A and B are shown apart, each in its own frame.
Chain A
Amino acid sequence: MSALTLWLNAPQRRRALLTVGSFLLPILVWCLVSYLPFVWHPQVLIDEPGGVDYFQTGMRVDRSDFADQLADMAQQGLPLPSGSPANPIYLPAPHEVAKAFYSGFTSPPEQKNAPWLHESLWHSIQIIFWGFVISSIVGVPLGILAGSYASLGRLSEPFIEFFRYLPAPAFGALAVAVLGIYDGPKIAIIVIGTFFQQVLIIANTTRKLEATLIEAARTLGSRGWRLIARVVVPGILPNLYQDQRILLGWAWTYLIVAELIGTSSGITWYITQQARYQHFDNVYAAIIIIGIIGFGSDLLLARLGRKLFPWNTGREKG
């Protein structure tokens, strides 16, 4: 076997390659659709209007319309229009999005006083952060208590279970009425979307803690609050951390809806604004940035988790 195949076959390398591949594949499809005219390209981007009255340079028309007009002009002996096959405006090519990605951070916004892309993003991140923190401040302790004390669990969980099914965005109007039109209702939507799941998931994680650990602690003289602080919390911490990671991911999915409530703000404002001016390259760039931030922070948190709970990795292995 050659050194190269050996290198490629090492299990870790293979995994890394597959991971890269899982990102490259969709990008490849996007490139094929964008750069190979025969794949799709249902429209024609006009270079020269020729004799057609309503054609303008830079305009996109359907391929069949263009063919009709071309035949028409040829018949009438007028100058022929010319153009190149193109995709619809809402599907920009990868290099256009890449350029928008770069210029989004480097060139000032078109309107005066409008926030830069990174300012919009920062605003969104703050909304998520505060929504998640507020939810966690109440949700994590409540979940742990509901999981530790059966009666508290039975008292709180049925209602929470019911509330969980109410869609958070449905509370938008109410949130605006109570909290005004700025950041308050947006944070509230993130909280509503996160909190109820959080209590149930964490209560469940708490209940899954090895009963022998609790019993051992009790025979060693541990009771009440100290039992929770010294045994339950550290015992579930690695799993609690995983839960929080998953919940943070869900909080992200509420972001766009939350930001549409009241005065639109943050990255959502940026996206709607850019879509209005048909700057779809900017729209895609912004969407991809959301993905990168969400996915990237999750990767970071996973890394950190392995560092934080060294005893847990050993346990998983055997």
Chain B
Amino acid sequence: MNAPQNNSQPSYLEQSPEVRERFQRIYDRETILEVRQLSKRYQTPQGETEALRGIDFKVHRREFVCVIGPSGCGKSTLIRILAGLDKHSDGDVLLDGKPVNGPGRDRGMVFQGYSLFPWLTVKENVMFGPEMSGHTRNTADNQARQWLDLVGLSKFADSYPHQLSGGMRQRVAIARALVNEPRILLMDEPFGALDAQTRAKMQHHLLDIWKNLDITILFITHDLDEAVYLADRILVLKPHPGEVQEIIEVPVPRPRTPAQFDSPVFRATKARIEALIHPPVESGEDEENNPEAGPMIRFTNVTDNVE
């Protein structure tokens, strides 16, 4: 399963003309987010840990970028720095060419855990952003309704978060982030806590939203299928310290459908990431990583059968 692919299988590097053209169009667009030589060191009682080292990448307007890597490789650290929730030690984070300094409305964030305000109704949760930016309650109300409509939750506008299912809560969280019309939407394993079926639906739903809006997405996951299914490009991180191993241009054409999970390009891309994340040799690290990889593969087969 971890065998290096140098045989006649299509390489993940081979792109159809349409795909290549698509990437050209993406790179022609303006840069929304630029990360230059970013590092992060944590001071701990055991000494200094280097969570991120020399991270370099750009995200273009309306691009969908996934960040993947084993747990503990610094994915959350990276996205929290981009969101302005943590400070970086070295390097630059530029949004539209301007350095990021603290959290801001120009970067929306969706967390893995339920981050909805439990004391507010669904609609009031979505109204929070507009109200904070000084809109009147009336305007905020209108905007919230519009975005709830977009995520298909108008019927639940007056429910409290605890009355919703996990998938619905994350849809509210997405609406709440998008209502501020951020330049980029940062998502930290947003579907990680959902069951496979809900997760598949949410992935589809997210692609729908992304298609219909002028929004750029940086999406963190540790699920290979999720990354390949969603992304234009995938940033593969390796742990200790967190470094970019490779930035992969996903050769799977759009529009994406679950049927593509079985296509040769999809599998080739997945195999490449698999090889990067779980290198075939190093036995010491394998012990740690294998139990995680096992159930993940079964997971996706289940998804395939369902859809």
Contact = CB atoms under 8 A, between A and B. Distances in A.
Nearest to A313: B162
Contacts of B105: 220-221
Interface residues of B, number: 31
A219 B108 contact: yes
Given A213-B115, A220-B129, A221-B180, A310 B160 contact: yes
Contacts of B132: 217, 220-222, 226, 230
Given A217-B117, A219-B103, A220-B180, 11 more contacts: A215-B115, A216-B115, A216-B173, A218-B84, A219-B84, A219-B108, A219-B177, A220-B132, A221-B132, A231-B117, A234-B117
Contacts of A234: 117, 119-120
11 contacts: A216-B115, A216-B117, A218-B103, A219-B83, A219-B84, A221-B103, A221-B133, A234-B119, A235-B117, A310-B160, A314-B162
Interface of B: 83-85, 102-105, 107-109, 111, 113-120, 128-129, 132-133, 160-163, 173, 176-177, 180
B165 to A, nearest CB: 12
Contacts, number: 78
A219 B107 contact: yes
Nearest to B132: A221
A230 B103 CA distance: 17
Nearest to A309: B119
A237 B180 CA distance: 27
Contacts of A216: 109, 111, 115-117, 173, 176
A2 B147 CA distance: 57
A22 interface: no
A99 to B, nearest CB: 50
Contacts of A311: 118-119, 160-162
B85 A215 contact: yes
Contact of A235 (B83, B111, B119): B119
Contacts of B115: 210, 212-213, 215-216
Nearest to A318: B162
